[in-house]
Amino acid sequence: MPSITKRGKRYRVLIRKKGYPVISKSFLNKKNAETFAKDTESRIERGVFLDTFLAEKTTFLDLVERYEIEISPSKKGHRIDLYVARSLKRALGEYKLAQIQPFVVSQYRDKRLKVVQPATVKRELGLLSRILTASEKEFGIYLPHGNPVRKVSIPKEPPGRDRRLEEDELEKLLIQFSQNQRMKLVVLLAIETGMRRGEICRIRHQDINWDISVLHIPETKNGTPRTIPLSSVARSTLRGAVTVSKASSCVFDVEPHSITRAFERACKRANIDNLRFHDLRHEATSRFFEKGLNVMEVASITGHQDLRMLRRYTHIRAETLVDRL
């Protein structure tokens, strides 16, 4: 039988049942204490009791820090998760897990949409959902409201960028990199292969098969390795990079963020507006289609598993289709 004792102004409920953890909870009102005791005992008897003690005790900050130590390091986006989690910690860190209901998540979403882009909020809510899912599946913390992220509307991202290189922009960029041979080669390779900047940074000498003109990419964003063909320009570009970096295990020996900063500075000096390094991947993908490759051939080079995403990255100029019509 549950016991109810008064301590000061509060009533403490204590329930001991074989096969269950000790349940203890205090109330300001005796009637509420009696109702809780009766309801909990009934649930235990019927075998439907789920202990919310850990969810009521654990803060979201405690959960995130445990996730970052035990779960996140095994994931490919570990560093990105650490960065994205900072906003979640600031806004929800002091909440007990049992307090994080759908309306709390929707309030967070609406506040963030006033200061950042929908894509950023979508990424943050995705991480929040993964963390809360891990709390139940990996840490055994029952959430009385389930995963609240699944019960709110996720912001829709705007249409994908359609920025392609204008007629003289590549030449302008290469001029800016005349004193930076490594970045010049990085830009050329990105346009010839459609590789992501992280993939380019991780190219090792042993990944290149010069005999059959292919490059193996063992570590990709989606986790699926791929091998891509090398055009004559791509081959000469890689040979130039290999010559420069013989002493390093990686061909380009550069960090992704360094590529981004160098590219942004070059665009600014060349008066090129609204161009990002990732747009070179868009440019490469579109050029593959303009050369006559079909969807599956392009996907095998770029590594897109979702063909709908591939369509977002593809922007074919109408004038290139005139001769084919």
Cβ 85 vs Cβ 127: under 8 Å: yes
Active-site pick, 11, 67, 108, 313:
313
> How far out from the chain centre does Cα 286 lie?
25
Residue 304: active-site member = yes
Cα atoms in the 13 Å half-sphere on the side-chain side of 29: 4
Residue 6: active-site member = no
Cβ 289 vs Cβ 316: under 8 Å: yes
Here the tokens at position 86 are 């900072």
Residue 18: active-site member = no
Residue 20: active-site member = no
Residue 298's SS3 state is helix
Cα atoms in the 13 Å half-sphere on the side-chain side of 49: 21
Active-site pick, 109, 112, 123, 196:
196
Residue 205: active-site member = no
CA nearest to 53, candidates 96, 8, 93: 96
The partner residues of 84 in beta bridges, in order of sequence, read none
DSSP state of 144: T
The partner residues of 216 in beta bridges, in order of sequence, read 227
Active-site pick, 161, 276, 278, 312:
278
Say which residue the tokens 């993939």 belong to. Answer: 199
Active-site pick, 281, 291, 311, 317:
281
Residue 278: active-site member = yes
Alpha-helical (H) ranges within 59-180 are 60-70, 78-92, 102-113, 118-137, 169-176
Residues 6+ apart with CB under 8 A from 70: 138
Active-site pick, 43, 90, 111, 221:
221
Residue 209's SS3 state is strand
Cβ 158 vs Cβ 172: under 8 Å: no
Here the tokens at position 242 are 């290999």
> Which residues are catalytically annotated?
196, 221, 278, 281, 304, 313
